[in-house]
Amino acid sequence: METSSKNSSRLSEMIALVQTWANINTHTQNFAGIEKALNEIAKACAVLKPNQIEFVKNGTSLGLFLKKRAEAKIQIFLGGHVDTVFSVKHPFQKVSLGQDTIQGPGVADMKGGLVVLIKALEQFENSPSSGQVGWEIFVNSDEEIGSPESTSFIQECAKRCDVALLFEPALADGTLISARKGSANYTIYSKGKKAHAGRDAHLGKNAIYPLAHLISQAEKLHRPHHGTLVNVGFVNGGEALNIIPDYATCGINIRSDSLEDLLSTKQSLILLAKQYQLEITETSLRPPKPLDKETEFLLKGLKKCGSQLGIPIQWRSTGGVCDGNTLAACGIPTIDTLGVCGGEIHTEHEYLKIASLSEKTDLTALFLHEIACETIPIQRKRK
């Protein structure tokens, strides 16, 4: 009886946190909203009694960093992001609480996951096994654009840790993500010379044509049968029909199962840019996250914890990327979908399943306990 009332009060608290955090707009470019939300998250982290808690700035990107028991034998990294894809002008701004679901911007991706992270760690911290484990938490705010500014900080954390847990959403049916493609983003810029399209046509240089040539060639780099995907995601340029455009720009994303293919496709794109005399910048590159032996071992350990709690655990690969790619590339076993179950993320129908808040919290707390007791032994790679 006591446990169940404790659990229901914990669930009410978790729902309230999701509501508060998701009602704050934290689009990647909304720095004021991000700061406000990170302050709220820091407040909720006080129960963890960390040895260190601080806001860190990587370029323009604010993050929250916490640390406890750096001297412990096993070091765990727990991470997530506070930013969302919904700009301040987007109509989807507020949370609505339903019977079994919460709908709102970023509830699944991944404010619900951040709530699970903190509450699971709180539960673990209250158990005697917690003394065996030290941890670091990092919440970044530029994940939705590929973590261009926080990646190096995440890599530093990875060097100090033996295992990484991220709280990105699981799929709606609870399936976790194992392998992920790598992903790289490019902005291509074409510079021309503006002139009246009739009277001064001979003085102008159209910026759109060379970009269009590159785009038509880029389509040939899209080879889904080889596991390599190329997407021209946006094109901008020009002003009016009677003006020769002096600029045009586009964004291109490359995804691939193998780092080799990712890099060779990148190289082809750079050559195309050179051929048409266009500027190209790489805004992010996250290597593929193959399912290695250590991570598979960890997933199997998690599955055991799930069966103790009656939560079925399964996993599959996806083309989506996250900071789990970065962590795995640093050589530490990484599970990156320990967050809530939900769906329709990045749309105005995004939701999380309320029951998964409790389930995932209990699952993660037990998983941490098993790691601490070395029933799930973690191979240390740190020197």
Give the residue with the Cβ less far from Zn ion, 178 or 265: 178
Residue 23 and residue 96: Cα distance in Å, rounded? 10
Instruction: Work out whether 294 is an interface residue with Zn ion (CB under 5 A).
Output: no
Residue 101 and residue 340: Cα distance in Å, rounded? 11
Instruction: Work out whether 109 is an interface residue with Zn ion (CB under 5 A).
Output: yes
Are the beta carbons of 325 and 331 closer than 8 angstroms? Answer: no
Nearest distance from C-beta of residue 205 to Zn ion, angstroms: 41
Instruction: Work out whether 83 is an interface residue with Zn ion (CB under 5 A).
Output: no
Could you say which DSSP state residue 205 is in?
B
Which segment (105-113, 114-122, 150-158, 246-254) binds Zn ion by CB under 5 A? 105-113
Which segment (89-97, 110-118, 190-198, 203-211) binds Zn ion by CB under 5 A? 110-118
Residue whose Cβ sits closest to Zn ion: 109
Tell whether omega for the bond before 14 is within 30 degrees of 0, i.e. cis. Answer: no
Q: What is the DSSP string of 340-382?
A: -BEE-TTSTT-EEEHHHHHHHHHHHHHHHHHHHTTSS------
Give the residue with the Cβ less far from Zn ion, 58 or 337: 337
Give the residue with the Cβ less far from Zn ion, 125 or 168: 168
Are the beta carbons of 135 and 120 closer than 8 angstroms? Answer: no
Binding mask 166-205 for Zn ion (x = CB under 5 A): --x-------------------------------------
Place of tokens 């769906």: 343
Give the residue with the Cβ less far from Zn ion, 72 or 85: 85
Nearest distance from C-beta of residue 143 to Zn ion, angstroms: 6
Which segment (50-58, 108-116, 186-194, 209-217) binds Zn ion by CB under 5 A? 108-116
Nearest distance from C-beta of residue 105 to Zn ion, angstroms: 12
The dihedral sign for the CA sequence 252, 257, 263, 267: negative
Q: Which of 74, 108, 110, 363 binds Zn ion (CB under 5 A)?
A: 110
# of chain residues touching Zn ion (CB under 5 A): 3
Give the residue with the Cβ less far from Zn ion, 26 or 206: 26
Give the residue with the Cβ less far from Zn ion, 109 or 362: 109
Which segment (160-168, 180-188, 243-251, 358-366) binds Zn ion by CB under 5 A? 160-168
Residue 20 and residue 351: Cα distance in Å, rounded? 15
Nearest distance from C-beta of residue 231 to Zn ion, angstroms: 19
Give the residue with the Cβ less far from Zn ion, 162 or 336: 336
Nearest distance from C-beta of residue 24 to Zn ion, angstroms: 16
Residue 108 and residue 364: Cα distance in Å, rounded? 16
Nearest distance from C-beta of residue 321 to Zn ion, angstroms: 10
Q: What is the phi/psi pair of residue 245, to 5°?
A: -75, 135
Half-sphere exposure (Cβ direction) of 7: Cα atoms closer than 13 Å: 12
Measure Cα distances from 136 to 59, 85, 165, 331 in Å. Answer: 21, 26, 10, 17
Give the residue with the Cβ less far from Zn ion, 168 or 359: 168
Which segment (48-56, 101-109, 247-255, 324-332) binds Zn ion by CB under 5 A? 101-109
Helix (H, G, I), strand (E, B) or coil at 15: helix
Residue 334 and residue 286: Cα distance in Å, rounded? 14
Place of tokens 């102008």: 204
Nearest distance from C-beta of residue 353 to Zn ion, angstroms: 16
Are the beta carbons of 254 and 280 closer than 8 angstroms? Answer: no
Residues that bind Zn ion (CB under 5 A): 109-110, 168
